[in-house]
Structure 1
Amino acid sequence: MAGRLAVFGARIIRTPKVPSGTVAMSGHGSGAPDFSHNIGKREVVAYGINGNPVYFDRTDYPLPAIRWKEPTPDILALRQKEQGDWKNLSIEEKKALYRASFCQTFAEFKASSPEWKSIVGIALIFVSFGIWLYYGLVAFVYPPLPDSFKEENRRAQLRRLLDLQTNPIQGISSKWDYEKNQWKK
């Protein structure tokens, strides 16, 4: 059994790991990864994060590696017109070119979403449920507090501690003036 595991482990170590969709870098083939099955016909326009052609709307990485939409005949015609003077392009054509390359503007993807409202609402529901659960436990499950929690019993206990002069150096008895029978000022 141990021999089989050792042979299996040696096979795993010797077998090169090649991600799917790539060409092994063994001197044969181009060595460039093939991402066309992931991105379709979208144009790769930049290096991308870690060299991967992916699309992100991020402020710290403002230029994504691929365009947002696949080219259509309308977009291709606008890109040919774009090669000339931009004054010949209308505002709608410029917006169409922008939307073909980017999904959102900076203002759109930096804007806060209203999702926080539902999160706060759900959190408040759970907090109110917890409060109701606590009051239900106090009312129906827990026994009543002992007599030692009543105010008159607590005052009597404090008077007893002062009479016994417990912890007279730094404790509660050090703050009591025994000659005037009141708290020190």
Structure 2
Amino acid sequence: MASRLLSVTSRQAQKLQKCMSSSVSKTGAREVVGYGFNGQHNYADRVDFPMPAVRFLENTPDILALREKEKGDWKKLSLEEKKALYRASFCQTFSEMKAPTGQWKSVVGITLIISSLSLWIYMAMKTFVYKPLPETFTEERIQAQLQRMIDIRVDPIEGLTSKYDYENNRWK
């Protein structure tokens, strides 16, 4: 399962690296087609800003021939040619950008691993490091302390002993 998670994660990282590798400000032989997100000539697939400043791929003779053909009637272009033109301008479609990546699985897994490690560390510290609780924390000592507070009537107006009925020796 871990190897599958790593392979899926590495595939997603390679895909993002492919799309984002051209996000540096060097345009090379790519055509500048607009202002861009922040005024720089770089490429980034963004849902909130769908028009990057430069095209995704550099101009090759095949792409240039398609660009000349697209200036005419689009009905004469085949579906494959339209897709090739789109992929020359953009790395991902909107559905590819919005597609779930499954990253939540790794986040939940890492969170559970960290939580379980912290519980194991706590149990080890409790067993091997901390001293045992003092004897005043035993149930008999707690009851004796409570009875002593009742006997000396500690804070009888609003405190603990205000809820004790001294005539019938019971709690109200």
Partner Cα separation in structure 2 for residue 159 and residue 92 of structure 1: 88
Q: Which residue of 1 is the match for residue 67 of structure 2?
A: 79
What corresponds to 1:97 in structure 2? 85
Correspondence list, 1:149-168, <5 A: 149-168=137-156
Larger RCO: 1 or 2 (CA < 8 Å, sep 6+): 2
Structure 2 unmatched runs, 5+: 1-24
2:134 aligned residue: 146
Inter-partner Cα distance in structure 1 for 2:168 and 2:99: 68
* Deviation larger for 55-64 or 174-183: 174-183
Q: Does 1:171 align with 2:159?
A: yes
1:60 to 45, 48, 53: 48
> Does 1:40 pair with 2:28?
yes
Range with greater deviation from structure 2 (64-73 or 157-166): 157-166
Give me the identity figure in percent. Answer: 59
Matched residues, number: 148
What corresponds to 2:110 in structure 1? 122
Query: Which amino acid in 1 is paired with 2:38?
Result: N
Report the Cα distance in structure 1 between the residues aligned to 2:99 and 2:167, rounded to whole angstroms.
70
Alignment of 1:25-36 (within 5 A): none
Q: Deviations over 1:12-32 (max 9, x none)?
A: xxxxxxxxxxxxxxxxxxxxx
Q: Which residue of 118, 132, 135 corresponds with 2:120?
A: 132
Runs of 4+ in 1 over 3 A off after TM superposition: none
Equivalent residue, structure 1, for 2:99: 111
Offset, 1:137: 1.3
1:60 is aligned with what amino acid?
D
- Mapped to 2, the partners of 1:107 and 1:58 lie a distance apart of 12
Which has the higher Rg, Structure 1 or Structure 2?
Answer: 1
Instruction: Determine helix, strand or coil for the equivalent of 1:57.
Output: coil
- Compute the displacement of 1:67 (Å): 0.4
Deviation at residue 69 of structure 1 after TM alignment: 0.4
- Counterpart residue identity of residue 175, structure 1: K
| TM-score, normalised by the number of residues in structure 2 | 0.79
Cα deviation for residue 63 of structure 1 reads 0.5
Q: Which structure features the higher share of helix residues?
A: 2
Q: Aligned partner of 2:168: which letter?
A: K
Q: CA RMSD in A?
A: 1.6
State the shift of 1:52 in Å.
Answer: 0.8
Q: TM-score, normalised by structure 1?
A: 0.74
